[in-house]
Amino acid sequence: MREQGVFHLEEHGQTERSQWVLDSPNPPPLWKKLFSSVKETILPHGNMFCFSSKRKTINGHALSCLQNLFPIISWLRDYKVSKFKDDLLAGLTLASLCIPQSIGYATLAKVAPEYGLYTSVVPPLIYAMMGSSREIAIGPVAVVSMLLASLVPKVEDPVTNPNAYRNLVFTVTFFTGIFQTAFGVFRLGFLVDFLSHAALVGFMAGAAIIIGLQQLKGLLGLSHFTSKTDVVSVLASVYKSLHNQIAPGQKWNPLNFVLGCSFLIFILITRFIGRRNRKLFWLPAISPLLSVILSTLIVYLSRADKHGVNIIKHVKGGLNPSSLHQLQLHGPHVGQAAKIGLICSVIALTEAIAVGRSFASIKGYHLDGNKEMLSMGIMNIAGSLTSCYVATGSFSRTAVNFSAGCQTAVSNIVMAVTVFLSLELFTRLLYYTPVAILASIVLSALPGLIDLSEACYIWKVDKLDFLACIGAFLGVLFATVEIGLLVAVIISFAKILIQSIRPGIEVLGRVPRTEAFCDVTQYPMAISTPGIIVIRISSGSLCFANANFVRERILKWVSQDEDDLKETTKGRVQAVILDMTNLMNVDTSGILALEELHKRLLSRGVELAMVNPRWLVIHKLKLAHFVDKIGKEWVFLTVGEAVDACLATKIARA
């Protein structure tokens, strides 16, 4: 009698736990999920409306909302003079590197030098107020500048129509900001993840080589150069230039090459010294600015511009002019501008978030990706209205900012103010700056974009990832930027598709002296229950892509067509238990496959049980009346309970 009472208690407890699974509340509708995403991004604390709490005043809620949108309000109250000293030093060091790099990157983007400086004023100020990273340095970067230089000229020619080209660049920047803001507000960061880490490594390496080859125009002093970006076209153009196979007046000048290479070597030597001695971190940071100053003096004093040395000439000074009326939002090229903006937004965000998170992990704080997207988007929208092109986080300048001991985003503000003062006071002094120096500054920043050790690591760990890496690299190098990105995304999608079409389906057994059920292939000591197959579907979704494969695989096991399964189950199969713990979603194709599986199993006299279906899965199965078809008594919370119930049914039938 006592044993029967214990048995009834256990049976009652199992029934109650199964009911927990069946009675789980319905998941929220799609509109509510979207609204929650927006609320979590814009409003502080996931479950709080700005005007719903009884504990706080309306003013308090408004302050909370503002603090969430503008983190500077939170940390500025505790800001101390000691921190400002560190940020001031870091900001000035950052500006000394930023000024020459910004001019060089503007030249790379095929816009006038002042637009690079403009991009180092407004976007850093916006980010300092809205961004959550303390170390990241905002401004123009080489890869995005190269993207603009390779994509925008296909729509507008920067040589024949420079004003239209510049206006289109502003429009692309505006769309870049729109897309980045949308990614942040609607929490669509996963779209950025479609460009995997491996693909980004390959893309960056290919882009670095292409950027380097493009700098040969300035380094050799060529007035005409190919507009194509693939390595074959660039090398062919260089070959023709060196062998005088071009029109008169386009011959390369060795003085440009000597001047550029001399200062390139100087910059690389200072970088080597800075890495060997951490106390001299400031030396590689100021070496580009020293190169600009010294080379400008050399050209001015020797009148080298009269002997074939190309100089940048006039650089417009003053505060960023408004570019609102220059945006082409109603012209014939809006669609193309939006497409280029989407590409730039993904690349810029990927680089910025990777840089920000790497330094945040060193400092031990969390970087919110969605807030970063929102702040990046708003700063680029503001930039497009103030004569800036696409800005993002720079790895080289962020590393300098970190080494200089920055404490907060005030270093970005100091940098922006310094660049603004330079625009107001010193742009006339840049008239004699040689173009070759700008090329050498850009070239000096490229080695950091090529990560051979990471490529070797990817090859060692995951060959498919390496395929995406090398695909992006070769696509950028021998075709175009779009093809390189497209190849990388296609390979990444193919990898996901392969894993979705053939998900992991594991036969489970009980590990001795535990209640755990694990894969019998990974844990050979796991014991299978005779007449019962426990199967775990290791896939995020049971959908149209893999439903038929899962169904046929299970039926094949039930038919005992595989020798290893005959040994595992030790006899005719009487019950199949599906562990759905890892299954996050199911579509109509998946439900139809389960229904057909159930019918086929019933025709063989085999019961079907489900274990721990997730929230969305059980909701859809109830709506499709699949739970009613198999019987509510065949839904369990744990695999152990399902096995015990199947054994009890088996004994009762015997």
What would the DSSP string read from start to end of 397-423? HHHHHHHTT--STHHHHHHHHHHHHHH
Taking the C-alpha atoms of residue 182 and residue 395, their distance in angstroms, rounded to an integer, is 24
Taking the C-alpha atoms of residue 266 and residue 260, their distance in angstroms, rounded to an integer, is 10
Give the model's pLDDT for residue 474.
94
- For residues 555-585, one letter each, b for 16 or more C-beta atoms within 10 angstroms of the residue's C-beta and e for the rest, the string is bebbeeeeeebeebbeeebbbbbbbbeebee
What would the DSSP string read from start to end of 274-293? HHH-GGGTHHHHHHHHHHHH
Taking the C-alpha atoms of residue 375 and residue 224, their distance in angstroms, rounded to an integer, is 39
Taking the C-alpha atoms of residue 142 and residue 341, their distance in angstroms, rounded to an integer, is 16
- Start-to-end CA distance of the chain, whole Å, equals 23
CB 323 within 8 A of CB 381: no
Element (H, E) at 536: strand 532-538
Tokens representing 369? 């990706």
Taking the C-alpha atoms of residue 403 and residue 416, their distance in angstroms, rounded to an integer, is 19
Relative orientation angle of helices 547-558 and 588-603, to the nearest 10 degrees: 10
Pick from 606, 487, 607, 613: which is nearest to 541 by CA? 613
Amino acid occupying residue 234: V
Average pLDDT score over residue span 474-497: 86
Residue 561 confidence (pLDDT) above 70:
no
Q: What is the pLDDT of residues 119-138, one digit of tens each?
A: 999 999 999 999 999 999 99
Average pLDDT score over residue span 357-380: 89
**Backbone angle region of 586, left / alpha / beta, with phi > 0 → left and psi within -120 to 50 → alpha:** beta
DSSP state of 434: B
Q: What is the pLDDT of residues 318-364, one digit of tens each?
A: 999 999 999 999 888 999 999 999 999 999 998 898 888 888 888 88
Residue 412 confidence (pLDDT) above 70:
yes
pLDDT > 70: what percent of the chain? 89
Pick from 109, 157, 91, 98: which is nearest to 390 by CA? 109
pLDDT > 90: what percent of the chain? 59
What would the DSSP string read from start to end of 600-618? HHHHTT-EEEEE---HHHH
Taking the C-alpha atoms of residue 228 and residue 615, their distance in angstroms, rounded to an integer, is 53
Taking the C-alpha atoms of residue 453 and residue 623, their distance in angstroms, rounded to an integer, is 52
Q: What is the pLDDT of residues 195-253, one digit of tens each?
A: 788 988 999 999 999 999 989 999 988 877 887 888 998 888 888 877 764 555 556 77
For 502-653, CATH gives: 3.30.750.24
Sequence-ordered strand ranges (E) for 325-448:
392-394
Quote the Cα angle for 385-388-394, to 5°.
Answer: 135
Average pLDDT score over residue span 1-30: 63
Residues of the chain with CATH 3.30.750.24: 502-653
pTM (2 d.p.): 0.79
DSSP state of 527: B
Average pLDDT score over residue span 411-433: 95
Name the pLDDT band for 2 (thresholds 50, 70, 90): very low
Which of the residue ranges 22-36, 366-380, 465-479, 598-612 would you say has the lowest mean pLDDT?
Answer: 22-36
Task: With H, G, I as helix, E, B as strand and everything else as coil, classify residue 223.
Answer: coil
Average pLDDT score over residue span 455-473: 93
Taking the C-alpha atoms of residue 309 and residue 441, their distance in angstroms, rounded to an integer, is 17
Name the pLDDT band for 148 (thresholds 50, 70, 90): very high
Average pLDDT score over residue span 497-519: 89
